[in-house]
Amino acid sequence: MGLEFLGVVKKYEQLLKIGQGTFGEVFKARHRKSGKIVALKKVLMANEKEGFPITALREIKILQQLRHENITHLIEICRAKGTPNDHFITSIYLVFEFCEHDLAGLLSNQQVKFSLAEIKEVMKQLLNGMYYIHSNKILHRDMKTANILITKSGTLKLADFGLARPFSLPKPHQPNRYTNRVVTLWYRPPELLLGERNYGPPIDMWGAGCIMAEMWTRTPIMQGSTEQHQLNLISNLCGSITTEIWPAVDQLEFFSKIKLPADLRRKVKERLHYYVRDQIALDLIDKLLAIDPTKRLNSDDALNHDFFWIDPMPSTLAKMLTLHTQSMFEFSALSRRRMHHQSQQNFKKPPHGVDMTFDRVF
């Protein structure tokens, strides 16, 4: 598929705005001839004085080379001629297959119940998608529940590659120099927070661990307000960040510049046990949230973890989703906020004496 721009207005009828991607708005639309429902991602062009945005070009190039059932599919690229309302700036749209749900919306809806077998299916499909992109030397760099889409038939799609980039294995004396200003703060791994620029797939695997825990907690487990706060939350959950635990950490730019909590022991299993009653699941979360990225499970080892190979086995999501036929995107922004607030109010609290000091998270 070349970079061929087709007229979006002639081909598609916009129905409603369904979200905000990393670099543009996302709309639900209908193909005028076939009636097929798609998602249109508008590329922001207003501030681009030197042509097509490099971030969008990178996303397009990456998506053109990825073909996998658990990766969102880029159908085509369209344009819409500018009007007086937008100062005659041409709009570019990426056309994707439409997915009825996103994981963040499903988890914020207390009417949606995931069984253990269904949680296994979500994580299996997510890890399959991650294994595919990492095998193709692509980092996602924005793992979070809002970027995990699910079709009404129960197929999971890893979406929004606006921050994704190719990676290469560092050569001796030639480390990579990628930006560490990536990944939404609540899902950002400790190496990025401490300034690492020579990173790889482990940054995505940390996000997978956060997402897996969230399948039970129904809310992000570490909601930092600043990078320092996020590091404090990570230390409170995963233990103090030291050279004993992570030998190379003292080489990172910010390690000596940030005051890190000391003498904290690791409490991942202990503090998540109230929510995640399955010991095998706790073990997988614990291994995905390893402080030292070199000790963090990769996607292949995670898929081979006992969690996926003992009863109950992963089961289809289609049956559960048939009970929630309305797309999560059909709700207004106000309804989504109200639903999320209600989930916070209704979510069961641990009994008195249970150590769950996640700093406002639960």
User: 330: number of CA atoms within 13 Å, CB side?
Assistant: 5
Least confident of 232-241, 271-280, 321-330, 344-353: 344-353
Q: Cβ contacts of residue 270 below 8 Å, gap of 6+?
A: 355
Confidence of residue 87 (pLDDT cuts 50, 70, 90): low
Mean pLDDT, the chain, integer: 85
pLDDT exceeds 70 at position 286: yes
CA 351 to chain centre: 31
Does any domain span residue 197?
yes
Mean pLDDT of 53-77: 91
Give the percent of the chain with pLDDT over 90: 65
Mean pLDDT of 328-343: 46
pLDDT value for 170: 72
If asked whether residues 219 and 245 sit together in one domain, one would say yes
Domain limit, last residue, from 308, 338, 353: 308
Domain limit, last residue, from 66, 82, 97: 97
Domain limit, last residue, from 97, 117, 142: 97
If asked whether residues 43 and 165 sit together in one domain, one would say no
If asked whether residues 115 and 244 sit together in one domain, one would say yes
- Catalytic residue positions, numbered: 142
The count of domains in the chain is 2
Strand stretches in the chain, DSSP E:
5-7, 12-20, 25-31, 37-43, 74-80, 91-97, 101-102, 138-139, 148-150, 156-158, 165-166
pLDDT exceeds 80 at position 126: yes
If asked whether residues 58 and 112 sit together in one domain, one would say no
Structure-token pair, residue 80: 């819409």
pLDDT exceeds 70 at position 11: yes
What's the domain range around 80? 5-97
If asked whether residues 249 and 109 sit together in one domain, one would say yes
pLDDT value for 57: 86
26-55 pLDDT, tens digit per residue, is 899 999 999 999 999 888 765 555 567 777
3-class DSSP state of 50 = coil
pLDDT value for 23: 62
pLDDT exceeds 80 at position 112: yes
pLDDT value for 46: 57
Q: How many angstroms separate the CA atoms of 13 and 16, rounded?
A: 10
Least confident of 83-97, 117-131, 164-178, 250-264: 83-97
CATH of the domain at 57: 3.30.200.20
Mean pLDDT of 222-236: 97
pLDDT value for 324: 61
